[in-house]
Structure 1
Amino acid sequence: MQIINVSKRRRCAFQEIPVLSPHEFSTLMLIKNATSQSDFDQADLLALADREFITIDLPEASVTPRLTDRGHALLARLGGAPL
């Protein structure tokens, strides 16, 4: 049996891309198309913000998520939004 030292393996480009759950991806699309404050799942918002696809503005009592350039680029690559 051969033991592979993971720390010495090369990383492929696919390992650098964060994987979104279907629910996170749909939340990203809903944020892009939101015309008013919507009730988004906090866990999805935090995951998207952690991956830098959105920013979260916290004015007074409401949460206003906005797409970052990275979020717009992801949706454009996947056919969800024009650049």
Structure 2
Amino acid sequence: MLSPHEFATLILVRDAPDQIEASRAELSTLLERQLVALEQAERGMSRPRITPNGNSVLEACARMR
């Protein structure tokens, strides 16, 4: 189960990946659970992106409303 902060971070990765700092604690949990992956961005920096598993989690939560 994701904490509210981890869930919010997952949404941010989906909607605004450039707004997330790589040092954010919740990001490491999402990486461990393979809900988020890091990809190489411009200037050699890493950028988070949502994985298919992460997208499935968000879709399942959206269906519960």
RMSD of aligned residue pairs (Cα, Å): 1.9
Measured in 1, the distance between the counterparts of 2:3 and 2:27 equals 12
Q: Of Structure 1 and Structure 2, which has the larger fraction of its residues in strand?
A: 2
Structure 1 stretches of 5 or more lacking a match?
1-18
Structure (1 or 2) with the larger CA radius of gyration: 1
Q: Which moved more, 1:67-76 or 1:37-46?
A: 37-46
Runs of 4+ in 1 over 3 A off after TM superposition: none
Measured in 2, the distance between the counterparts of 1:76 and 1:39 equals 21
TM-score, with normalisation over the residues of structure 2? 0.78
Please show how residues 5-24 of structure 1 align to structure 2 within 5 Å: 19-24=1-6
How many residue pairs get aligned? The number is: 60
Larger relative CO (CA 8 A, sep 6+): 1 or 2? 2
Q: Of Structure 1 and Structure 2, which has the larger fraction of its residues in helix?
A: 2
